Amino acid sequence: MIKLKVPATTANLGPGFDCMGIALDLYNYIEIEEIDSGLKISIEDDNDRKKVDKDENNLVFKAVKKVFEKVGYRTKGLRIHIKYHIPIARGLGSSAACIVGGMMAANEICGRKLELHELMEMAVEMEGHPDNVVPAMVGGYVISAYTENKVEYLRLDLPEEIRFIIAVPDFELKTSDARRILPEMVSLKDAVFNISRAALLAAAVAEKRYNLFHFFGKDRLHQPYRGKLIPGMDQVMKNAVEEGALGVFLSGAGPSIIALSLKDFEKIGSKMKEIFFLNGIRSTILITGVSKKGAEILT
């Protein structure tokens, strides 16, 4: 039996649309073993609300199948058990965790025939962009690009004392819906705005310049548009900063919002929850750190 844990991820970070992501210290756990015949999938869900496919449409199984097909591995049957701690359809990389977990487990089963970069490229192709799957694999703060079927990435370490205060609204937002609302063209002014903020953000993390962490969340490519789908988003962000957050941003496609801070975590989280509630949205607050290792095979 192969057991592994895969971290949640937060992507975009504001200006780093589709190219920046961070692995979080919040995990899904996956067990996979070969059996005599058939496919058996069982699910544990912290929220116990989301119906997850328990057949060949299951995302973990699809990822396993891609690896087996790639290396020509045949199996009589599989048993898959998934324990979800990562909220589903909340902008915290749940689908990326399933893809990464399935592929890494499959690679173990077939004798590690694929290198990390090969698995990474397959995962990016399946997910559609690298900002979630790459940090889910390698951990930390990752800047990545996908060109000519090859993934290039740079991994940085965030300071250990940084915490992520995550406000998770009690409604789902599919990535497809959050992408559909984005414009196909943006102005040169907005493009320059994002390029400059993304560059400064990466430099601030590398140099641990906390006074520049406010560049987390500075964006004109996606947040202003996705905010229309998330009641109270701008107010939540504004109030989190007023309570002492170093930076605040929409996590992935949303609707979760993340604040970074060195202190007053509960205070900031309480204010974020309050503002969501005033806008008619119930939410849950999670406080976590960064996952330095990313996905791990458990012995």
Q: 229: which residues sit within 8 A by CB, 6+ positions away?
A: 173, 177, 178, 181, 254, 255
pLDDT of residue 53: 86
pLDDT of residue 50: 63
Is 87 annotated to bind ligand? yes
pLDDT of residue 174: 85
Share of the chain above pLDDT 70, in %: 98
- Does residue 48 carry a pLDDT above 80? no
Tell me 291's DSSP state: -
Is 143 annotated to bind ligand? no
- Cβ atoms of 29 and 83 within 8 Å: the answer is yes
Q: What does the pLDDT average to over 61-85?
A: 95
User: What whole-number distance in Å separates Cα of residue 153 and Cα of residue 164?
Assistant: 23
Is 97 annotated to bind ligand? yes
Q: What phi and psi values does residue 16 have, to the nearest 5 degrees? A: -90, 50
**Residue 266 CB: number of other CB atoms within 10 A?**
10
Q: Please name which of 31, 6, 163 lies closest in space to residue 86, comparing C-alpha atoms.
A: 6
pLDDT of residue 149: 76
Q: What does the pLDDT average to over 269-289?
A: 97
User: What whole-number distance in Å separates Cα of residue 68 and Cα of residue 102?
Assistant: 11
254: β partners: none
- Would you give the distance in Å from CA 247 to the centre of its chain? 18
Q: Which residue type sits at 150?
A: K
Is 90 annotated to bind ligand? yes
- Does residue 151 carry a pLDDT above 70? yes
Q: What does the pLDDT average to over 149-178?
A: 92
298: β partners: 3
Is 88 annotated to bind ligand? yes
User: What whole-number distance in Å separates Cα of residue 131 and Cα of residue 235?
Assistant: 26
Question: Which segments of 10-155 does DSSP mark as H helices, in order?
Answer: 59-71, 94-109, 116-127, 130-138
When the pLDDT of each residue in the chain is averaged and rounded to a whole number, the result is 94
User: What whole-number distance in Å separates Cα of residue 232 and Cα of residue 196?
Assistant: 27
Task: Give the end-to-end CA distance of the chain in Å, rounded to a whole number.
Answer: 10
28: β partners: 6
Assign 208 to helix, strand or coil.
Answer: coil
- Cβ atoms of 29 and 233 within 8 Å: the answer is no
- Does residue 282 carry a pLDDT above 90? yes
pLDDT of residue 167: 98
Q: Which residue type sits at 153?
A: Y
Residue, of 53 and 135, whose pLDDT is higher: 135
- Does residue 147 carry a pLDDT above 90? no
Domains of the chain: 2-157 (3.30.230.10), 163-288 (3.30.70.890)
pLDDT of residue 146: 84
- Does residue 121 carry a pLDDT above 60? yes
pLDDT of residue 120: 96
**pTM, entire model:** 0.94
Model confidence pLDDT, tens digit, residues 221-261: 999 999 999 999 999 999 999 999 999 999 999 999 999 99
Is 95 annotated to bind ligand? yes
- Cβ atoms of 107 and 69 within 8 Å: the answer is no
Q: Which residue type sits at 89?
A: A
Tokens of 69: 């097909």
Q: What does the pLDDT average to over 17-44?
A: 95
Is 220 annotated to bind ligand? no
pLDDT of residue 176: 87
Q: Please name which of 4, 17, 7, 3 lies closest in space to residue 226, comparing C-alpha atoms.
A: 17
User: What whole-number distance in Å separates Cα of residue 34 and Cα of residue 259?
Assistant: 42
Q: What phi and psi values does residue 13 have, to the nearest 5 degrees? A: 60, 20
Model confidence pLDDT, tens digit, residues 180-229: 999 999 999 999 999 999 999 999 999 999 999 999 999 999 999 999 99
Q: Please name which of 166, 173, 161 lies closest in space to residue 272, comparing C-alpha atoms.
A: 166
Is 91 annotated to bind ligand? yes
Question: Is 124 exposed, middle or buried, given 0-12, 13-18 or 19+ CB atoms closer than 10 A?
Answer: buried
